[in-house]
Amino acid sequence: MISWSHHLIITPILIPMLTAAVLLLIEERNRTAKALISFTSILLLVLNATILFRIESGPNDFDNVYLIGNWAAPFGIVLVIDGLSALMLLLASLLAVAALVFSLAKWHAVGTHYHSLFQLLLVGVNGAVLTGDLFNLFVFFEIMLAASYGLLLHGTGTLRVKAGLHYIAVNLVGALFFLIGVSLIYGTAGTLNMADLAVRMPELEPDRLMLMEAGAAVLGVAFLIKVGMWPLCFWMPAAYSAASSPVAGMFAILSKVGIYVILRLTMLLFGEGPSAGFGADVLLIGGMATLIFGTIGVLASQALGRLASYSVLVSSGTLMMVLGIKDGIVSSGALLYLVSSTLTISAFFMLIELVERGQDAGANVLAVTMEAYGDGEEHDVAQEEGVTIPGTMAILGICFAACGILLSGLPPLSGFIAKFAMLSAMMGTGSIGSTPDMAVWALIVLVILSGIAALIAMTRVGIRTFWGSLEGTVPRVFVVEIVPIIFLLSLTLLLTFEAGPVMVYMDQTIRTLGTPESYIDAVRQALVIQGWEPAPQTGQGGAP
């Protein structure tokens, strides 16, 4: 007999999956009913993720492994939750609440099956952070990507279709790399269970270990495509800027799922043993190149959507650099940066739509690179009449300023705290592990320069948007559109006030990842539930 709380591990997958199935049975004209069901499902996910997060944040005897089908590892499918996966579940559910509420103003009604696709996206994200084997990681990744294809194409416009087709093609290639890498790993090690792989890898012969590392490298290409590492990132700015605002806000976490998988596999499989440090140099150099490319893109962007898209690359590059350093103190600050930057970028994508409603012809002329990004036609659906909120421009301006402060890492908000934690750890350690001193200081300079670039870009766009209007057009905004943005930015404010407990949680999470023995033992020692035994059969005369 297991406790009810044990089943909470699988509910982040079951709730959106069942909801998506139910929503398919409801006709599209019943949009109110579909929205209500979808929103209720997201609230249940938030409640579920909050309970799991609170359990993982304190001392407990919670069983972290869920055996699907009641088959023991490595033969059965397992779900595993720890501090990192609980953090990702909570972050995904909070973003989902904001994006879904924002879409209720108009976007959920401009195409078919929006709510079902939204729920399936959550199935993929939640499953990817919970699964304990590589094959099901592939399955959940494909569910996540398939749903993102439909969501990206949701709406109208040639530019959105063009970017969506490029997005599909690139990610299909990534899925092929994923499948090839998984096949190589299984053919070499004979297992895809992550805990079992960690046990078997040190026992492999040198030639088979090289083949195993080759499979891991091919697998890594698929993750790096999703993360957006240069030069695999050219699809991302066009795709993210073409997506509708709530979809782009939800897409902010997709690259972080790739970061999660890289961090998980790096700490579990390549933290110790003969393959220790495998791929670290690629992450370090690739992260630096991505950060430089993203910073140049931020400075060059005249359109707000492009600016937000390149900010995703800046965030990914920073996180990859930190993973390449492989220092626990720096990584704990990186986890806070992951959460803060994801919340900020998601809010910024949704804020962009509201801000651009007030731009007049004179402001659009200043976007001198617009012709390079598209054909200039109108791609959004016709805007419905909304209610003008008193002080609309003031509210939008405050939200825009908050996004600028967070993206540039200025005090006192959580973006500054996260960067300060990373930079102070780098400065305090000088040379971290095998990383030369000059490389560490180069990373410090790049992080600081990226923040300055974000400040310059946001200030320039802010002046043009809020002070450079020729006609002083005030956008008409729905309450359900501004509330999600304020909600996400309020979460960053909460991270600021609760920075102490948050950093303690991040430190504890990194220490747990740094000791993979606990993860391995939990998976390998998870016991199946003993069910009813069949009654003994009897022969003639009642003899057993």
CA dihedral 157, 162, 166, 172 (to 10 degrees): 60
What pLDDT, on the 0 to 100 scale, is given for residue 4? Answer: 64
Residues pairing with 65 in the sheet: 80
C-beta neighbour count of 516 within 10 angstroms:
18
Distance, first Cα to last Cα, the chain? 30
Residues pairing with 131 in the sheet: 79
What pLDDT, on the 0 to 100 scale, is given for residue 8? Answer: 85
Q: How far apart are CA 108 and CA 222, in angstroms?
A: 30
What pLDDT, on the 0 to 100 scale, is given for residue 130? Answer: 92
What pLDDT, on the 0 to 100 scale, is given for residue 473? Answer: 65
DSSP-assigned letter for residue 233 = -
pTM: 0.87
**Residues 223/117, Cβ–Cβ less than 8 Å:** no
Q: Is residue 77 part of a domain?
A: no
**Residues 96/350, Cβ–Cβ less than 8 Å:** no
Q: Is residue 474 part of a domain?
A: yes
What pLDDT, on the 0 to 100 scale, is given for residue 357? Answer: 75
Q: Is residue 440 part of a domain?
A: yes
| Cis bond upstream, residue 274 (ω within 30) | no
Q: Is residue 75 part of a domain?
A: no
What pLDDT, on the 0 to 100 scale, is given for residue 423? Answer: 85
Q: Between vectors from CA 272 to CA 138 and to CA 442, what angle results, nearest 5°?
A: 85
Q: Is residue 411 part of a domain?
A: yes
Query: Which residues form the domain of 456?
Result: 279-367+386-522
**What is the residue-level pLDDT of the chain in tens, covering all 544 positions?**
466 667 788 899 999 999 999 998 888 788 889 989 999 999 999 999 998 888 877 655 556 888 887 777 777 788 888 889 999 999 999 999 999 999 888 887 777 888 899 999 999 999 999 998 898 999 999 999 999 998 888 877 788 888 888 888 998 998 899 999 999 988 888 888 888 888 888 888 888 888 888 888 898 888 898 888 988 888 888 888 888 889 999 999 998 998 999 888 888 888 776 667 777 888 889 989 999 999 999 998 888 888 999 999 999 999 988 888 866 667 788 899 999 999 999 999 999 988 887 665 444 444 444 434 444 444 444 444 444 444 777 888 889 999 999 999 888 888 899 988 888 887 765 444 445 567 778 888 898 999 999 999 999 888 887 776 545 566 677 788 899 999 999 999 999 998 889 998 888 888 888 888 888 888 887 777 765 444 455 444 444 4
What pLDDT, on the 0 to 100 scale, is given for residue 60? Answer: 55
Q: Is residue 191 part of a domain?
A: no
Q: Is residue 337 part of a domain?
A: yes
C-beta neighbour count of 141 within 10 angstroms:
25
What pLDDT, on the 0 to 100 scale, is given for residue 436? Answer: 52
C-beta neighbour count of 437 within 10 angstroms:
11
Q: Between vectors from CA 245 to CA 244 and to CA 250, what angle results, nearest 5°?
A: 100
Closest CA to 408 of 421, 398, 418: 418
> How many domains are contained in the chain?
1
Q: Is residue 512 part of a domain?
A: yes
What pLDDT, on the 0 to 100 scale, is given for residue 371? Answer: 37
**Residues 37/119, Cβ–Cβ less than 8 Å:** no
Q: What is the largest CA-CA distance in the chain?
A: 101
